[in-house]
Chains A and B, each alone.
Chain A
Amino acid sequence: MDLFKIISDIEKVDPEIYERLDSRRRVFKHFGLAGKAVTGAMLPGLVSGLFQRAYGQTNSLPADIVAVLNLALSLEYLEFYFYDSGLAAPNLIPSADRPAFEKIRNDESGHIKVLRGALGSAAIPDPTRNAFDYSGGRGTGVGPFATALVNNYALFLGSSQAFVDTGVRAYKGGAPTLMPNKDILEAALNIHSVEARHSSHVRTVRRGLAASQSGQGATGVAGDLSNLNARPKSWISGTDNGGPSPSTNPSTAPVYGAGNPATGAPTAIFFPAENNISQAGVDISTIAGLNATAASEAFDEPLDPATVKSIARNFVNAAVAPNLFV
């Protein structure tokens, strides 16, 4: 039996064995074993050492992956403390909707746990609740969303939608950077879709509230294409007319707008606005039976890190957390 027979046999149960070993050729060199027969007596220590290297966790992630994951973690903290503050505010969230926001808050807590685990010592420290100014005032506390965590449930829902849709776009934009690490990529995708589920529900609740329906009754309220600001569909239609609060400063319009670069070749990665109707060079709106509205709704769009940060920074107390989303 030689080493290559062992690896060949292992390939039958783990097709990725060569991939795992390939980046670690120095292991072979270190042992000076390439092509040599290995005696049975040598096997235990040698094999365990080799496979600990092949299957073991590495501690240092590439800088670009760390950056994507820490941006994601920052957004999770932004969301977590927002929902947690909402749940703590008396007379804000109606009892019918508390279970949903407890689920959403707890999901974000789980995402924070997962991202911290993936980042290890590279994770940013918990910025804490004090890092955020959910009024949109950057620390003044008197921005246009100030009542969202006091007594304005409609505004709470509007802010929730804007935060979660920003998150969905951010994960989509970050995914390509994670491609070299398949397990981290899959974890990020498994966060991404949960955020989209949250967005869908928040949008349903908003439609209901606009029609004075809560609980199951909210699902009986249709989206209104002429009033997407207050009665959005559970998916993004066009640019949602700028989202829940397009006319304030800060505005929710950039959440649904274009990032940078906004255009590119069909095979390139770029960040068009949510009303984009062309995918990989295919004009979806001209497919028989479809139209521009359906074409925009059927595909969400990614957002680049710089644009995500510029949106999120509006909700940071810059004096407390000068480095958050910078």
Chain B
Amino acid sequence: MSKLHDSGVTDQGPTALVQPIQRRSFLKYTGASMAISGLLLAGCDDDDDPNNSGNLLDVGSGDNGVLNYAYALEQLEAAFYAQVKTGTYYSNLGAATSEKQILDDLALHEKAHAEFFKTALSTNAIKALEPDFSSINFNDRTSVLTAAQTFEDLGVAAYNGAGRYIQTAAYLVIAGKIVSVEARHAALIRDLLSYNRFVDNDVVDLFTPTGNASTPGVGNGTGLERSMKPNDVLAKANGFLKEGSKLSANNLK
């Protein structure tokens, strides 16, 4: 059953974290008749314990849970771009270059997002997270931009996948205001690394016309962003967080 989940995500987190969401996606995509066999396969007495999250920090439930989930990802991005400024890749960039302007802007935007959530959540906010960027070489352009692409693409997929858990319309609009800016970032970073990759099959289910390309809507694929479920997002994000700051999102629904 673990091979039947819907996303193309290869990173697998701890089994206890990913199993419930896989079963649920499985059900959603296979429909009514499979629900019964899914039930049998899962085992009627195999209770999942929602509190069994080890030493992971859970983002919580309801709208505060979604906002804290976003706050956590924005903290990670803000910390990343702040650290970019300490490396020689950034410090060697000329004052009027596009890459300096881009990295300066991204640092400001992600700081704006993180501080916004911190302020809006007030006493409901999760703690300040401790990042672990030991896998990134901040003196190397490719390493920095590749990591930036990872964070930006992950942010877009995360916001798109979490929209369904938001209960208050105004918060959904706020998330929408942020995610399109993250998508703008992601596209530019991708173009910096490899031109014309602003959309590509790793992040978008590209559409391929099967007949005359000038006839709309006929072909394979969808042109949709590949949104990700919180547990799949956090399996990746936790690789950039220290012990004690690693996250779970077991109560978003």
Which A residues are within 8 Å of any B CB, using their own CB?
A: 9-10, 12-16, 47-48, 51-52, 54-56, 76-77, 80-81, 84, 88, 99-100, 102-114, 116, 126, 168, 171-172, 175-176, 179, 182-183, 185-187, 189-201, 204, 207, 215-216, 218-223, 233-235, 266-269, 279-280, 282, 284, 287, 289-290, 294-295, 297-302
Name the residue of chain A whose CB is nearest to the CB of B226: A190
CB of B15 closer than 8 Å to a CB of A: no
Which B residues are within 8 Å of any A CB, using their own CB?
A: 20, 23-24, 27-28, 31-33, 35-36, 38-39, 42, 44, 46-48, 96-99, 101-102, 105, 108-109, 111-113, 115-116, 119-120, 156, 159-161, 163-164, 166, 168-170, 172-174, 176-188, 191-192, 195-196, 198-199, 204-209, 213-214, 216-219, 221-227, 253
Q: A13-B23, A88-B214, A196-B187 are in contact. Are A235 and B181 (CB under 8 A)?
A: yes
Name the residue of chain A whose CB is nearest to the CB of B204: A194
Question: Within the complex, which residue of B32, B187, B199, B204 is in contact with A234, where a contact is CB–CB below 8 Å?
Answer: B187
> Which residues of chain B are within 8 angstroms of A187 by Cβ–Cβ distance?
224
Across the A-B interface, the 10 shortest Cβ-Cβ residue pairs: A110-B223, A110-B207, A200-B187, A196-B183, A107-B223, A298-B112, A196-B180, A294-B108, A176-B169, A51-B32
Question: Within the complex, which residue of B115, B159, B182, B208 is in contact with A106, where a contact is CB–CB below 8 Å?
Answer: B208
> Which residues of chain A are within 8 angstroms of B36 by Cβ–Cβ distance?
47, 51
Q: A109-B219, A222-B96 are in contact. Are A13 and B227 (CB under 8 A)?
A: no
How many whole Å from B34's CB to the nearest CB in chain A? 9
- Whether the Cβ atoms of A109 and B223 lie closer than 8 Å is yes
- Whether the Cβ atoms of A222 and B98 lie closer than 8 Å is yes
- Whether the Cβ atoms of A297 and B119 lie closer than 8 Å is no
> Which residues of chain A are within 8 angstroms of B102 by Cβ–Cβ distance?
234
* A116 to B223 alpha-carbon distance, docked (Å): 13
- Whether the Cβ atoms of B164 and A295 lie closer than 8 Å is no
- Whether the Cβ atoms of A287 and B156 lie closer than 8 Å is no
* A4 to B209 alpha-carbon distance, docked (Å): 47
* A84 to B213 alpha-carbon distance, docked (Å): 8
How many whole Å from B21's CB to the nearest CB in chain A? 10
- Whether the Cβ atoms of A112 and B39 lie closer than 8 Å is no
- Whether the Cβ atoms of A298 and B223 lie closer than 8 Å is no
How many whole Å from A127's CB to the nearest CB in chain B? 10
Name the residue of chain B whose CB is nearest to the CB of A282: B119
How many whole Å from A308's CB to the nearest CB in chain B? 15
- Whether the Cβ atoms of A12 and B217 lie closer than 8 Å is no
> Which residues of chain A are within 8 angstroms of B206 by Cβ–Cβ distance?
103, 106-107, 110
Q: Which of B33, B112, B120, B216 has the most CB of A within 10 A?
A: B216
